[in-house]
Amino acid sequence: MKNILWVVAGALITSDFKVLLSRRPEGKNLAGFWEYPGGKIETGETPEAALCRELREELCLTVNSADLKPLTFASFEYEKFHLVMPLFVCQRWQGTPVGAEGQKIAFADAETVGSDQEKFPMPPADDELSACLRQWIKYQRSKE
């Protein structure tokens, strides 16, 4: 039986529908892949609290948990563990994102994220979340 790894991810969306992606640095598992920022949920921590903490630590951003809206989740079987990852959408934060851990960051067109595997290759679990995010973006744009 594999360990279940609980992590949380955030799709930080700008007013012009760009999404912030973070590139996994060399030396880490899945190095070189682009992902939605986030990380492990610590014992006793809610997913929202974990995401706020991770965004502060990784990107120097301040996010209010009330601004995190749950969208979907991935449940993905990797070779050594099973990953469960809720994805939250966030359209409001304070600060300018920087790769505080030396990782590259980029704003990508949210309508193509996950489908542009040449420019922004993603790990399978993150990629699974992208189709739902693209639908959410399409819906949000239709309301404008």
17-37, pLDDT tens digit by residue? 999 999 988 878 777 899 999
Mean pLDDT along residues 129-136:
92
CATH class of 3-142: alpha beta
Q: Is the model's pLDDT at 63 over the cut of 90?
A: yes
**Whole-angstrom distance, CA of residue 124 vs CA of residue 144:** 31
Global pTM?
Answer: 0.93
> What pLDDT, in 10s, does the model give residues 3-16?
999 999 999 999 99
The number of beta carbons lying within 10 Å of the beta carbon of residue 31 is 10
pLDDT for res 69: 98
- Please choose, from the candidates 34, 12, 19, 23, the residue with its C-alpha nearest in 3D space to the C-alpha of residue 102: 23
Domain boundaries of the chain, sorted by first residue:
3-142
Give the integer Cα–Cα distance in Å for 128 and 122.
9
Least-confidence region, from 28-32, 41-45, 58-62, 112-116: 112-116
Distances 2 to 44, 81, 90, 96, 113 between C-alpha atoms, Å:
21, 5, 31, 38, 30
User: Nearest-CA neighbor of 25 among 14, 13, 40, 37?
Assistant: 37
